[in-house]
Amino acid sequence: MNKLEQLYPETPSPLKHSNLFELLVAVLLSAQCTDERVNKVTPELFSQANDPFSMLTLGKDKVRKIIRPCGLSPQKSKAIIELSDILIKTNDGKVPSNEAELESLPGVGHKTASVVLSQGFGFQTFPVDTHIHRLAQRWGLTNGKNVKQTESDLKKLFPKSLWNKLHLQIIFYGREYCTARGCDGRICEICKTCYPKRKKPFICNK
């Protein structure tokens, strides 16, 4: 925690957005895609549609064409249009601040909902993706074989008041120092500090 705070005292949202709907769409697009690529695609999308009403008017085909660089564009464009329609019909076009309601939307899983609640509403959540899952295992914070168990373990280890910030600090550190290919559990400072006697590359439990 001290090392991460030293390196990343500020934790701005990695996904560029100007409202809750933009955040929801950006997080949805980030599935199996880098934040960097999402941030290159969303300016064009949001310049044409940055709320459910205009997104529905834009239509699935145009959305699909714009978001194609993010991958999985047929599924993602369908989900964006469907969730826009649902938000209009059930919530006056507003993004809900309830986990269950968010997870009921097309294309929105637990991790996406957690990010929106964290970065959009300021709720203390600990979204765990495959990268945090891998790092938590490398650092001995969990022996979980899935992101659900890893999330549970991390929430037990760290104060709730720090969950939002730690989630992003771990992501930032992983991208810069403890990448999937750049560190095998014996190279970066945190890995070496946690396990100074580790001789063999660490194999993550999937």
Q: Put residue 31 in one of left, alpha, beta given phi > 0 → left and psi -120 to 50 → alpha.
A: beta
Identified catalytic residue from 65, 76, 94, 129: 129
Q: Is 111 a catalytic residue?
A: yes
Contact at 8 Å (CB) between 141 and 153?
yes
> For residues 84-93, b (16+ Cβ closer than 10 Å) or e, as one string?
beebbeeeeb
Side chain identity, residue 56: L
Closest CA to 126 of 102, 149, 105: 149
Measured CA to CA, the distance from residue 155 to residue 28 in angstroms comes to 23
90 Cβ neighbours under 8 A, 6+ residues apart: none
Identified catalytic residue from 16, 76, 78, 111: 111
HSE-up of residue 58 (Cα within 13 Å, Cβ side): 25
- The structure tokens listed for 48 are 């044409």
CA 178 to each of CA 41, 100, 191: distance values in angstroms, whole numbers, following the listed order: 27, 33, 8
Measured CA to CA, the distance from residue 142 to residue 152 in angstroms comes to 9
Measured CA to CA, the distance from residue 86 to residue 92 in angstroms comes to 9
Active site residues: 111, 129
